[in-house]
Structure 1
């Protein structure tokens, strides 16, 4: 099952532009979330980053993120995302509530995945050695 939410954001700058953004959590990668920005007729531009970074961005009073995604809780109701690449950068603002709701649902699904021994063995093949499943020398 994939957790998915579509919400409205706006690109900040000299002129604010409304943007549709699709948030996706894929259980095949329980540590990540994807924000896919609608790019007119050209489709979507996806940005995948750590689920923990999104949590930190919602929880921290200071900016978080060292790479191409930086998050700042600029008010109680607004989360700002700055994304950058070699071809440029952009800032977006989101209402906190739908982002937090998406993160809660994605985290609940991730917890189910992480608590499954089968899933953990598939995600972390060396884990069996930690449990003593591999013979000792």
Structure 2
């Protein structure tokens, strides 16, 4: 039983990672596309690593509150400090925001990102194996 639990845990581990890396950001962008408010913010910081940049954008909501959003790593950051940047925020929770360009890129949907297909190629067999182990249809 201990080996079965260990293998099940090791196989199930990628599922929450995929949820965190792809599904949650995709749902946020979809929600912002449907009900978000687009404003112009100012880039206050650009931080480069080996091949991507993370930008920080300060923006004001319609009621005058100021927030700062840190973007996901951008591979081609064409933004410099002081540039105007379009940002979309959630009016119910203004701290929840996304660059408008990221929302435009995500319009093709969850399966628009090619890496999702590669992840599904590995996850689906793992989930089937977990199901068979848990239901007792297969034993180690």
For Structure 1 versus Structure 2, the TM-score category normalised by the shorter chain is 0.3 to 0.5
More strand by share: 1
Normalising by structure 2, we get a TM-score of: 0.32
More helix by share: 2
Give the structure with higher Rg (CA): 2
Normalising by structure 1, we get a TM-score of: 0.33
Give the structure, 1 or 2, with the largest relative contact order (CA under 8 Å, sep 6 or more).
Answer: 2
